[in-house]
Amino acid sequence: MNTLYPLKFQPVFKDKIWGGRKIKDVLGMDFGKLPNCGEVWVVSGVEGNPTLVKNGFLAGNELNELVSVYMGDLVGDDVYDKFGDEFPLLIKYIDANDWLSIQVHPDDELAAKRKVGHGKTEMWYIIEAGKEAELISGFRQKVDKETYQKYLDQGRLKEILNFEKVEKGDVFFIPAGRVHSLGPDILLAEIQQTSDTTYRIYDWDRIDASGMKRELHTKEALDAIDFEVADNYKTRYKPEKNKTIPLVRCPQFTTNLLEYDQAMSKDFEEIDSFIIYMGVEGSSVLKWEGGEEKIAPGEAVVIPNVINNIELRPEGKAKLLEVYLT
């Protein structure tokens, strides 16, 4: 009988007006004839953009098809009870060669009200960043809807937004409702809820290939925005080798960092969830009872819930992100 095993998927490449070449030049992923690649989706159950298994006897199957067949054995019983046949996370790598639009995503409540699926809470782990790289996360001062609208209408929105300098290894948690954007020269790993709903607030007045400005969602965004000011917009953590370092724990996902140069054994007996490993630096070999699978930068592996014990071996030094639901 064929049994479940760690799954790797064919990537889905996305050209973007702000995308660059790092997906190929740094992560070594060939995006073919696309003019650029702003995003590569490596684990996706998003309708219309599913990832297909590329390893083992399940090769060619869509992710959500496997969820419907294997249910809790793949994703965990509690996860399946909550999300049904839809895989609950979207896993990406993003290359920002220019400013992304200033944008916001709805939370679960607003998304349900507008019938657009789930909300979109996400997080970023910075893989590479230029010396002048920066991003936008939230507001720098307390504002209300009226004040925000005034600054937006006057073309002064940047004055009330919080700009953050970005360095390799930085982590930013972006809960639904937080206004945000990525600046040029940033390569990152993104973990997010399964959603592709984005409300574009401002797009730097740029023109696309057809000579048009991209659509803005000024009205839709207004009710989605959280106007509160956070104490810290950058997630603080203490790097430590050969240990599992917590980065983000929220209702939507848990993410840890593994920076290691020696073998690590992992026991998932107490976790009723799939586990995802994302390669962000160096290469690793994942070993389980039925075999082994390599994880290179830019790749992700989904470990089914029925596999409780694995060993991770770095090829020299490596960094992985570990993601699951709690």
Concatenated DSSP letters of 113-129? HTT-SS---EEEEEEEE
Residues 134 and 167 occupy one common structural domain = yes
pLDDT of the residue at 17: 94
Task: Report whether 66 contacts 86 (CB < 8 A).
Answer: no
Say if 271 falls within a structural domain. Answer: yes
Six token digits for residue 273: 């969830």
Claim to verify: residue 292 and residue 183 sit in the same structural domain: no
Q: How far is CA 243 from the centre of its chain?
A: 22
Looking up residue 143, the CATH number of its domain turns out to be 2.60.120.10
Closest CA to 198 of 227, 171, 178: 178
- Using the 3D structure, point to which of 190, 222, 254 is the last residue of a domain: 222
Spatial separation of the C-alpha atoms in residues 253 and 278, rounded to whole Å: 14
In terms of domains, do 63 and 209 share one? yes
Task: Kindly state the percentage of the chain with pLDDT values over 70.
Answer: 100
Whose CA is closest to 164, among 120, 195, 132?
Answer: 132
Q: How many CB atoms lie within 10 A of CB 125?
A: 23
Quick one: 250 and 218 in the same domain? no
Q: Is the pTM of this model over 0.85?
A: yes
Token pair belonging to 189: 């790993």
- In terms of residue numbers, what domain contains 215? 12-222
Residue 130, domain member (yes or no): yes
Q: What angle do CA 79, 303, 85 make, to 5 degrees?
A: 35
**Is residue 217 assigned to a domain?**
yes
Statement to judge: residues 177 and 295 lie in one domain = no
215 and 146 fall within a common domain: yes
Provide mean pLDDT across the span 219-230.
96
**Is there a domain that residue 230 lies in?**
no
Could you tell me if 140 and 161 are in contact, meaning their C-beta atoms sit under 8 angstroms apart?
yes
What the block records as the tokens of 156 is: 């002064």
pLDDT in tens, 36-77: 999 999 999 999 999 999 999 999 999 999 999 999 999 999
Task: Give a yes or no: residue 237 inside a domain.
Answer: no
Q: 99: left (phi > 0), else alpha (psi -120 to 50), else beta?
A: beta
Task: Say yes or no: 205 and 262 in one domain.
Answer: no
pLDDT digits (tens, 9 = 90+) for 279-305: 999 999 999 999 999 999 999 999 999
Shared domain check, 119 and 258: no
| Whole-number pLDDT of residue 211 | 86
In a shared domain, residues 180 and 286 = no
Looking at 222, 257, 279, which one is the last position of a domain?
A: 222
Determine the Cα angle at 310 with ends 187 and 190, to 5°: 20
Are 86 and 161 within one domain? yes
- Predicted pLDDT at 267: 97
Q: Is residue 2 part of a domain?
A: no
Q: For 164-194, what is each residue's pLDDT tens digit?
A: 999 999 999 999 999 999 999 999 999 999 9
Residue type, 239: P
Tokens of 315: 């090829």
Asked whether residue 1 is domain-assigned, the answer is: no
Residue 7 lies in a domain: no
Q: What is the number of structural domains in the chain?
A: 2
Give me the pLDDT at residue 210, please: 82
DSSP alpha helix (H) spans, 174-234: 218-222
Residues 175 and 257 in one domain: no
* pLDDT score for 209: 78
Q: What is the pLDDT of residues 120-157, one digit of tens each?
A: 999 999 999 999 999 999 999 999 999 999 999 999 99
Q: Are residues 164 and 69 in the same domain?
A: yes
